[in-house]
Structure 1
Amino acid sequence: MYIFRSIHEIVTTVNAARVLLTEMFEKRKTVNFKYSEALALLKDDENRLKLLIEKEVIHQNGNEVALDARFQDFFELLLEANEEINTAIIDEHIEYLHELMDYYLKEKVPARKNSYVRNIKITFRKIARTTIRNIMNLQTSIDSAFKHEPTYQIKIAKLENLDKKRINIQRLIDSTENLILHEERLFFQQATDEELDRILLELRSELQLSAHSLIRAQQDIINYLNQIKSQVILVEKIRKVKQLMDQFELRTKSNLAEVMENDHSVLVEGNTPSSFKLSIPYLNTDEARPIILKVRKNLQYKEIIRNNEAGAFSEEDMTTASMYEELIDFGETLESYLQLQAQRQWNDKDAEPEDLFTFLMHHTFKREVSEQERTTLFCQLVSLYENMFRISEDFGVYKNYEYVKIYPA
């Protein structure tokens, strides 16, 4: 393997081939570069092309050339263009932090202790950057797997594997929090560094936001799997109707005639959308401010309904029995709680609203939900819809749980 002798050599080599490397990087996933095409981009300078191959900036395979993996990884890292979800590297960073902190506690020379602190700060920054990038890639991969994967079985396998990666990311977030708060308390007591304190404060804030994003990713995965299940059921019903129709038994073995008799909708009419637009001058007045704030508040918890095609299903897919967890819809649960409290206030203006925790403990869901799940749901709703609630200073007790009382905002 070729080893560069200096930074200057690396920069000079890359700069001399910048046109070719830019083209190869941008088309790294779609095009197999021919040797002749690479030569044309270098203005037919074959000596320069052979030098790039010799220095292993690019590799030649017969009549084709490809960008070296080291340079591709380097470009993707700086440009944040890599869609890979890599949790192993965070695990390595955490292990490295334990080693550095152990060295710091055993070191007696101040200069060497400071060098360990410097490396610790760099590693914490890497953990924050890598975690955020992994979560962005996770959400992108979840949406892409559901919307663009044409094969039914691969679509499900991808979503299930992404859920495993989501669990790994959450585990690493918990490990980082545990390292900061518990495992290495002795180090943090001795290493009094203002920059390190600021980095840790920013890191914990980013980890908290990352945990909230993982809750949303989990909900999307379960929702997508349930949509696939619903589409399978719909396709099975359509197949049964088609079979009865082909055998001329549709009217005798189904309630089609009754349904058609009671249905008076006009198929081609559609829904006429209502249109009510406010003028720009009116929106700029103080009178319009309450309306704008009300619309903004409603948009905070309303979700856009996704209507996506799942793709073609084979005969084997139709016979495969799959069971998925029944999703607890956060938005629907929140809406039920807010409507119940609004109804309570309407019936009796002096009535005290019911706190969120009490509501969840007595609410009837579509499936059996344990107390532990209800407690977790309480925390998730508060995290996702914080602006919709008013957190009081009062506490309540339910069996072994002590909780803060939270009401509608």
Structure 2
Amino acid sequence: MSYIASLKELINTLTQSKDLMVEMFEKRKSFLYRYDDAAELLSEDKIEVLISKHILRRNGPYVEIDDLYQQFFEQVLEVNEEINTSYIHENIQQVKQHINFYLQENNEHRRYTYLKQIKAALRKIGRITLRNVIDLNRNIENAFKTEPNYSIKIARLDAFDEKRRAVYLLIEQTDRLAADEEITFFTTALDEELKQVVTQLRGQLTESRHNLIETQKQIIEYLNQVKHQSRIQEKIKQVKYLKDQFELKAKTNITRLLQQSNDVLFESRPTYPLKLSLDYLQSDEGNENIKRVAAKLQQHKRPAQLVAESIASKDMLPQTEEEIFIDLEEIKRGFAASSHHLHNYIMQYKYPREVTYEEKITIFCQMVSMYEQELNIKNIFQTDEQVEYAMVVAK
């Protein structure tokens, strides 16, 4: 078991296996990736190196990216669907701790180190908060549209609502931290970059807060729709059960409700033609309207179909088209009696018609496919400057 000793070693290892890592990462949610499929993209020795360095993890016939590296890739590429509020809370606590260290420290170099860590943590808070809000909205929409089970759908939406409240509380906590709780630090730390970081953070918090308000409205709307659909589904199930038991009329008032219903949704809408006066039709405006209607009617007219000319008597006479057939069975018998290998024999064979190079290659492939049991296909390859082919001889 070996481990990554340096950043240079890690980068080199990932570079050598980039094709496999990209393929596995893109298909991480589609299906389990088989070890044999991975061996087609990377040699088994290199795969074992990745496993020994805990970059990949093998599970029987399958192989997958280790959780540590998968989470790293998802966070860098911003495709992680997990709503991680604890990470924001940790950064808030880290900011508070480093602010205390900064105010107590007298050494300028160490004060600068704490200030640098504070700015990095504030940037993380803003970026992760905004990312969590985006992921939360996407997960809510996916749960509403793709989850078929109503009870599970409601439970997932309620869980996302809890996440929304947690993110909102962290936004308020961060806002208080920058505006009230640590006002001494932010006014005494004369650093231009820190001011820019705080301004950017407040903008991100404001955007996240507004998005969460819309998220709350969306969750309420989705929950109401799901609960309404669930109630309708339960009623339909009850009606179907009573119908199957032939008790629908006896135990419900459906007959009376249907008699009271006068829905005409499926009836065609009646049209009442309006007759125009002769005075209007004789006016200039009426004349223009008549021309416009006539033009529309003319457009809807089907054009007269053209009638084809009569077929000439000579075209009715039977015609024969001849094609010279290449007999593969005859080629096989001749090849069995020769001392050449198959590719050489096919290239030199005297065909009943002119045959191109591409057709000869096709004949070679057909012979190998059709008469595989009667041929000896060796693990030796040669080339004729255009294609590489296996040595095939007769048994």
Query: TM-score, normalization: structure 2?
Result: 0.63
Question: Which residue of structure 2 lines up, in the alignment, with residue 234 of structure 1?
Answer: 232
CA contact (8 A) 1:33 1:65 kept: yes
Distance 2:253 2:229 in 1: 21
Letter in 1 for 2:20: L
Distance 1:115 1:139 in 2: 37
For residue 182 of structure 1, what is the aligned residue in structure 2? 180
CA apart distance, 1:237? 3.4
Aligned to 2:99: 101
- The corresponding residue for 2:249 is 250
**5 Å matches for 1:147-166?**
147-166=145-164
What is the alpha-carbon distance in structure 1 between the residues aligned to residue 135 and residue 157 of structure 2?
13
Instruction: Provide closer, same or farther for how the CA distance between residues 124 and 234 of structure 1 changes in structure 2, counting only shifts above 3 A.
Output: same
Partner deviation per Cα, 1:204-235 (whole Å, 9 max, x = no partner): 12111111111111112222221122123323
**Quick one: distance in 2 between partners of 1:240 and 1:21?**
52
Structure-to-structure mapping, 1:206-355, within 5 angstroms: 206-242=204-240, 245=243, 247=246, 250=249, 253-254=252-253, 256-257=255-256, 259-260=258-259, 262-267=261-266
Q: CA 1:192–1:39 in 2, change beyond 3 Å: closer, same or farther?
A: same
The 1:60–1:265 alpha-carbon spacing in structure 2 relative to 1, beyond 3 Å, is same
How far apart are residue 254 of structure 1 and its match? 2.1
Q: What do residues 246-267 of structure 1 show as CA deviations (whole Å, max 9, x unaligned)?
A: 5365399526456555524142
Give, in angstroms, the shift of residue 46 of structure 1.
2.2
Pick 1 or 2: higher relative contact order, CA cutoff 8 A, min separation 6.
1
CA pair 61-180 structure 1, distance change in 2 beyond 3 A: same
Q: Is residue 142–residue 159 contact of structure 1 (8 Å, CA) maintained in 2?
A: yes
2:52 is matched with which residue?
A: 54
1:290-322 Cα distance to aligned partner (Å, 9 max, x none): xxxxxxxxxxxxxxxxxxxxxxxxxxxxxxxxx
- Code of the aligned partner of 1:94: I
Q: Residue 330 of structure 2 aligns with which residue?
A: none
Shift of 1:100: 0.6
Q: Distance in 1 between matches of 2:228 and 2:139?
A: 22
Deviation at 1:9, TM superposition (A): 1.1
CA–CA separation in structure 2 for the residues paired with 1:181 and 1:208:
13
Question: Contact between 1:145 and 1:155, CA under 8 Å: does it hold in 2?
Answer: yes
CA distance in 2, matches of 1:154, 1:232: 11
Asked if the contact 1:57/1:71 (under 8 Å) is kept, the reply is yes
Tell me the percent identity.
39
What's the secondary structure of 2:58's corresponding residue?
strand
C-alpha distance 115-252 of structure 1, shift in aligned 2 (>3 A) = closer
Where does 1:343-382 land on structure 2 (aligned, <5 Å)?
none
Distance 1:87 1:236 in 2: 37
Further displaced range: 149-158 or 131-140 = 149-158
Counterpart contact for 2:3–2:54, Cα < 8 Å: no
What TM-score does the superposition give when structure 1 sets the normalisation length? 0.61
Structure 2 residue runs without a partner (length 5+): 270-395
Contact 1:251/1:257, CA 8 A, preserved across alignment: no
Report if the CA contact (8 A) 1:135-1:214 is conserved: yes
Q: Say if 2:18 is the partner of 1:18.
A: yes
Give the structure with higher Rg (CA): 2
Q: Distance in 1 between matches of 2:221 and 2:96?
A: 39
Q: Where in structure 1 are there 5+ consecutive unaligned residues?
A: 271-409
Cα distance in 2 between the residues matched to 1:261 and 1:183: 67
Distance 1:259 1:27, change over 3 A: same
Flag the 1:266–1:102 CA change in 2: closer, same or farther, 3 A: closer
Structure 2 equivalent of residue 204 of structure 1: 202
Aligned to 1:293: none
Q: Which letter does structure 1 place at the counterpart of 2:94?
A: Y
- Give the whole-Å Cα distance in 1 for the aligned partners of 2:241 and 2:63: 54
- For 2:152 and 2:238, how far apart are their aligned partners in 1? 26
Give the superposition deviation at 1:152.
2.2
- Provide the residue aligned with 1:38 in structure 2: 38
SS in 2 for 1:250: helix
Runs of 4+ in 1 over 4 A off after TM superposition: 243-246, 255-262
Inter-partner Cα distance in structure 2 for 1:4 and 1:212? 43
User: Which residue of 127, 141, 163 corresponds with 1:143?
Assistant: 141
CA distance in 1, matches of 2:16, 2:169: 44
Q: How many residues align?
A: 268
Alpha-carbon distance in 1 for matches of 2:193, 2:256: 76
Inter-CA distance 264–224: structure 2 relative to 1 (3 Å threshold):
closer
**Structure 1 residue 77 displacement after superposition:** 1.2
Q: Tell me the distance in 1 between the aligned counterparts of 2:32 and 2:126.
A: 35
Whole-Å separation in 1 of the counterparts to 2:94 and 2:182? 13
Describe the shift of the 1:253–1:4 C-alpha distance in structure 2 as closer, same or farther (beyond 3 A).
Answer: closer
In structure 2, give the amino acid aligned to 1:46: E
Partner SS state of residue 249, structure 2: coil
Aligned to 1:8: 8
